[in-house]
C-alpha cells in the first residue's frame, strides 16, 4: 500500500537541520523519503517532497551541499513566497505564480513607502537591531535578542492596519515583510493544485513563526513540529491534532511522521514504528 502521505512540506532551518553549521541532517529522514518515493512509484502515486523555506536558491543549494543532503527535494518554496520545481539540480520557476507574486509585492511595497521610513527610524533610534539587505523586502533586520525582535514586531503591528495586505515574516531574531496573500501556506496550497495532491494527503513540518501559515489543516492534514519548536508552534500543532515530537530537528520530523502513521493504522515505511510517549 502507498503511504497515505503523498506530499511532504518541510521547513529547513530549525526543522530539518540544526542551527549549528555543518552538522548533517538525521539520515533516517532521507530513508523515509526514499521509502515513500519507492512505494509511491510502485503504486503509481508519486510521493513529492518540497522544502518550504525563507532562503533564496543560492543560499539553499549551498546549504544542502554543505550538509551533504543525499537526496534533493522535488520542489522548493523560496523566500516563503516563490515556487520552483527542481530538475537536474536547477530550480525552474513556476512562472505564473511567481510573476503574480512579484507584481503584488511591488505594488504593495511602493504604496507603503511611508511605513518603511518610519520603521527604519524606529529601528535605528530605538533598538540595536541590524538592518539587512534583502531584495525581497524593503526592510529586513536581525535583532540582537528575541525580546528586541518582539519590540520591533509590536511596533510594526501597530502600523500595519494602515497598509492592508502587509504582513510580518519572522524566524527567530530575523524579520522581513511580505504580502499577506503569499506565504508558506498559500504556496503549499498552490503546489497541491499543480501536483494534484490534496491537503488530506499532505504532511507539513515546521518549528517557528514563519511556518505557522502551512501548519494548518487547511494546508495539511498531517502536522508535525520537532522538539525544538517554539511554544506557539507546538501549541498550534497540538490544538489541531498534530504531533509535537520529543526529538529535535529532522529526527523529530521522522518521529512525528511515524507516530501519525501509527495513529492512522498505516503500515510503517521502514522497520518498526517506535512508541513515543
The domains of the chain are located at 7-80+183-263, 98-179
State the number of CA atoms in the 13 A half-sphere of 104 facing the CB: 19
- Are 32 and 269 a contacting pair, CB within 8 Å? yes
How far is Cα 181 from Cα 164, in angstroms, rounded to an integer? 11
* 98-179 has the same fold as 7-80+183-263: no
pLDDT exceeds 50 at position 117: yes
Compute the distance between CA of residue 251 and CA of residue 197 in angstroms, rounded to an integer.
25
Q: Which fold has domain 7-80+183-263?
A: Rossmann fold (3.40.50)
Share of the chain above pLDDT 70, in %: 95
Q: Classify residue 20 as exposed, middle or buried by CB count within 10 Å of its CB (0-12, 13-18, 19+).
A: exposed
What pLDDT sits at residue 265?
76
Residue 171 is predicted with a pLDDT of 87
Q: Where are the beta strands (DSSP E) in the chain?
A: 7-10, 48-52, 75-78, 82-87, 90-93, 130-132, 140-142, 166-171, 174-179, 202-205, 222-225, 243-244
> Using one digit for the tens of pLDDT, what is the confidence trace for 134-182?
989 999 999 999 999 999 999 999 999 999 999 999 988 999 999 999 9
**pLDDT tens for each residue of 42-51:** 999 999 999 9
Q: For 98-116, what is each residue's pLDDT tens digit?
A: 999 999 999 999 999 999 9
Q: pTM of this prediction? A: 0.90
User: What would the CATH number be for the domain defined by 98-179?
Assistant: 3.30.70
Question: What are the pLDDT digits (tens) for 178-212?
Answer: 999 999 999 999 999 999 999 999 999 999 999 99
Taking alpha carbons only, the member of 27, 24, 46 closest to residue 37 is: 46
Measured in degrees and rounded to the nearest 5, phi and psi for residue 131 equal -75, 135
Residue 273 has pLDDT above 60, yes or no: no
Amino acid at each position: 500500500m502507498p503511504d497515505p502521505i503523498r506530499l511532504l512540506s518541510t521547513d529547513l532551518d530549525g526543522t530539518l537541520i540544526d542551527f549549528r553549521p555543518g552538522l548533517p541532517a538525521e539520515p533516517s529522514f532521507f530513508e523515509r523519503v526514499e521509502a515513500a518515493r519507492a512505494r509511491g512509484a510502485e503504486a503509481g502515486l508519486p510521493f513529492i517532497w518540497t522544502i518550504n523555506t525563507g532562503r533564496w536558491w543560492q543560499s539553499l543549494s549551498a546549504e544542502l551541499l554543505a550538509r551533504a543532503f543525499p537526496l534533493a527535494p522535488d520542489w522548493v518554496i523560496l523566500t516563503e513566497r516563490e515556487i520552483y520545481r527542481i530538475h537536474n539540480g536547477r530550480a525552474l520557476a513556476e512562472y505564473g505564480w511567481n510573476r503574480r507574486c512579484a507584481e503584488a509585492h511591488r505594488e504593495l511595497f511602493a504604496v507603503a513607502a511611508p511605513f518603511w521610513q518610519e520603521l527604519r527610524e524606529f529601528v535605528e533610534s530605538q533598538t540595536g537591531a541590524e538592518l539587512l539587505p534583502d531584495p525581497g523586502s524593503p526592510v529586513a533586520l536581525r535583532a540582537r535578542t528575541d525580546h528586541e525582535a518582539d519590540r520591533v514586531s509590536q511596533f510594526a503591528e501597530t502600523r500595519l492596519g494602515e497598509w492592508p495586505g502587509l504582513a510580518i515574516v519572522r524566524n527567530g531574531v530575523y524579520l522581513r515583510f511580505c504580502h499577506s496573500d503569499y506565504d508558506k501556506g498559500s504556496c503549499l496550497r498552490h503546489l497541491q493544485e499543480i501536483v494534484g495532491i490534496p491537503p488530506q494527503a499532505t504532511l507539513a513540518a515546521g518549528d517557528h513563526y514563519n511556518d505557522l501559515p502551512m501548519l494548518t489543516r487547511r494546508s495539511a492534514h498531517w502536522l508535525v513540529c520537532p522538539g525544538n519548536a517554539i511554544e506557539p508552534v507546538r501549541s498550534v500543532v497540538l490544538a489541531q491534532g498534530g504531533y509535537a515530537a520529543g526529538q529535535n530537528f529532522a529526527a523529530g520530523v521522522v518521529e512525528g511522521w511515524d507516530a501519525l502513521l501509527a495513529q492512522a493504522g498505516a503500515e510503517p515505511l521502514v522497520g518498526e514504528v517506535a512508541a513515543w510517549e
